[in-house]
Structure 1
């Protein structure tokens, strides 16, 4: 075991302070360089991430402008009567512009079957002593339900509602206070599509619409509970359908009847080109473009650590080149009402005209320049794909920065190991020095003591 507990203990010198100062002088410059490098890389990585995000949004907005249906889409606008919504309408690009008056005479509905009076006292009444099956049908739909022996009315209700292949039959029990009524409802609409319930066990006749031996069962469908077609009128012309959804009664449009008209009330339908949808997509593109320009100006600005960055400078130039290109038959964006401000931000007006007026007067011109083949949106998509797509320049740059950050971390670990090794070396050297100085001091003290004991030797105590 060493006799010296700390460096300098024997000599009395501040050797530990010397060691610490030596290590500090060696470590701090290297650490500062690594900190500066890491800080620069972190800022660069953050900027690349922001650019990728902004460019991705710009690419998405440009992609929407290339959709073929954008400029040809038709929009249905419905003015409902005072009593509330009676129809909803969706129109496709195949629809023709026009104005129509809609009247809902009757809604399509499914049928309802109710058990006979006095058939069941309560939901706990046992229906059958032997197992059997019930088959439900309506229109082209059907399913068969196996019923266990000794099932109650409630058991059968639960079995119907939980059947996996149930096409849309709902069973309910209504307690009137004097008896229990079983009710079957079918969601299959259309005249002639009334619910049928048959069985293979006469014990089920009371809960069937058709008896096992033929004839009517105990479940009856009243006239008011029969399945019906939907009936609507378009400008006084009647149309009938087995559901409430009418497709292409007006070409390219789908009309859904929601509620029967009260009295003679009607809804007013207008079908027109969806200029609002086009304008919304243009607004989205302009916003995304300007956000990108603002971000690039900030990243490459005078106070930024990335001032003069080649990627930022090149990208700004390429974006501007796309905007100022010539499209179609020699047209530019500025011919269609666009403009650029002093900061390079895209505007939807210029001294001559504006985008809104051009869209109203000549939408095909906007379609050709913006959404057409090799138009603005297409060129913008192609440009941006080279930056944000798989293997794009920003992805490669991000990967390169992350690799550099990994090397910085490895350098930190290497520096820590070197400092630890240097500390051990210095401790060993200075402990040897401490021991030597301590020995010399001891010898000096011994010599001084011997001299003090010699005859005639006097010591100056001043």
Structure 2
């Protein structure tokens, strides 16, 4: 006979006995595996967080170690009351100082207009035979092919729609007195860069500035509509440019003319004053980022190494904290009146957190700029010292990546051990269940035999 559930045949709770025997072998061991796996995964998380914080701090250090940070310049412009006339930007080649700038003339492109009486309607036919129109301004050129019988409106559309058009805008103007004018505006600025329109057929002379036939060309440029340079005056020196942007007319400066200067009360053109100085604001922002990332790094150290935390007692963290603090305290003898970074406004509280005193920083930047540069940059600067140390721990080949990988490998190994153990426990449970099942069948058989015997004896007695 067979039984469908342990204990049914024998009346004994064999299922509970089976579970208890498996639990004794399994539970403690599985919990030990899971605890160890959890510890390894916590280490992976901790090393990852520290690596991330360390790399953020490393970026701030690298920014401070960039000499370009300290060679940057700013241009601060004071405009006349009439409005903005120039914008000025400075690069590291600019010299500190101030400049007075006035604008005598803005650059402009040329404008051609057809003569009166040539066209009375936008539907007038321009050429009966057709031909090519070529538009040139400076070094730019493009050509459109005009079909026989093309109207003035169609020619305008061809010009504006040409994919090679370098900046020529064609328009039609009706004066209301029976005249329609073709106007061509060119974006190409600079003296000598007037728009020139030539053709391959004399019938197109009416929409050209150079005639092919014996007659006159239809387009002309008024004196005030000619292409012209921009002209500015910097500290009494007149400077021309083919565009409104003056690149390196003054070393390191880009000056853009925005509007022509109005005449001041003294009878002279109004000026804008531009002051060029070190870009101390960028230095300050970078130093504040350094302070912020340093504090965040040490907060991360505390989070994972305090009593009861996964990296409590870690020699790695103790070493990092000690070395970074030591680097921070570096004393310099080649930075003038500055001997440590605490002389430029860096302050440390009782908890080891850094802050930046803006007043002290501004004083140091104003009075000891070159010495500030010495403190941070170069082979012996504090940023270089820290950067050299940090690169051992960060990146894809750094110590923290190795430690994280090792912890992950250990976690994976323990996970595999746990799975193998649970497999063996499964086999053990299956063996026990089979034995208990056989025992249940045996006991059930004995119970049935005993019941039958008692029944037979009872029947005999009744006889």
TM-score bracket, shorter-length normalisation: 0.7 to 0.9
Please say if residues 87 and 258 of structure 1, whose CA atoms lie closer than 8 Å, have aligned partners that are also in contact. Answer: yes
Which of 276, 293, 312 is equivalent to 2:317?
312
Q: Residues 246-273 of structure 1: CA distance to partner in whole angstroms, max 9, x if unpaired?
A: 1333332121112223343332211223
Matched, 1:438 2:444: yes
Residues 57-72 of structure 1 aligned to structure 2 (within 5 Å): 57-72=56-71
Give the match for residue 382 of structure 2: 376
Secondary structure of 2:70's match?
coil
Report the Cα offset of residue 229 of structure 1: 0.7
Please say if residues 145 and 163 of structure 1, whose CA atoms lie closer than 8 Å, have aligned partners that are also in contact. Answer: yes
Residues 32-71 of structure 1 aligned to structure 2 (within 5 Å): 32-71=31-70
Which of 379, 399, 411 is equivalent to 1:393?
399
Please say if residues 196 and 210 of structure 1, whose CA atoms lie closer than 8 Å, have aligned partners that are also in contact. Answer: yes
Matched, 1:84 2:90: no
Give the match for residue 193 of structure 1: 193
Residues 90-239 of structure 1 aligned to structure 2 (within 5 Å): 90-115=89-114, 119=119, 121-122=121-122, 132-146=131-145, 160-161=159-160, 163-172=162-171, 182-213=182-213, 217-239=217-239
Matched, 1:242 2:248: no
Structure 2: runs of 5 or more not aligned: 265-269
Please say if residues 85 and 259 of structure 1, whose CA atoms lie closer than 8 Å, have aligned partners that are also in contact. Answer: yes
Please say if residues 113 and 225 of structure 1, whose CA atoms lie closer than 8 Å, have aligned partners that are also in contact. Answer: yes
Structure 1: runs of 5 or more not aligned: 458-462
Q: Residues 198-230 of structure 1: CA distance to partner in whole angstroms, max 9, x if unpaired?
A: 233445444433334377544443333321111
In structure 2, how many angstroms separate the alpha carbons of the residues matched to 1:241 and 1:4?
105
Please say if residues 130 and 203 of structure 2, whose CA atoms lie closer than 8 Å, have aligned partners that are also in contact. Answer: no
Give the match for residue 283 of structure 1: 288
Please say if residues 104 and 232 of structure 1, whose CA atoms lie closer than 8 Å, have aligned partners that are also in contact. Answer: yes
Which of 345, 348, 365 is equivalent to 1:340?
348
Report the Cα offset of residue 176 of structure 1: 7.6
Q: Residues 78-126 of structure 1: CA distance to partner in whole angstroms, max 9, x if unpaired?
A: 012334322111122332222222212221122233455563734x777
Give the match for residue 418 of structure 1: 424
In structure 2, how many angstroms separate the alpha carbons of the residues matched to 1:411 and 1:206?
94
Secondary structure of 1:69's match?
helix
Q: TM-score, normalised by structure 1?
A: 0.85
Secondary structure of 2:189's match?
coil
In structure 2, how many angstroms separate the alpha carbons of the residues matched to 1:6 and 1:154?
98
C-alpha distance 224-34 of structure 1, shift in aligned 2 (>3 A): farther
Give the match for residue 460 of structure 1: none
Secondary structure of 1:137's match?
strand
Report the Cα offset of residue 347 of structure 1: 4.1
In structure 2, how many angstroms separate the alpha carbons of the residues matched to 1:337 and 1:211?
75
Please say if residues 300 and 313 of structure 1, whose CA atoms lie closer than 8 Å, have aligned partners that are also in contact. Answer: no
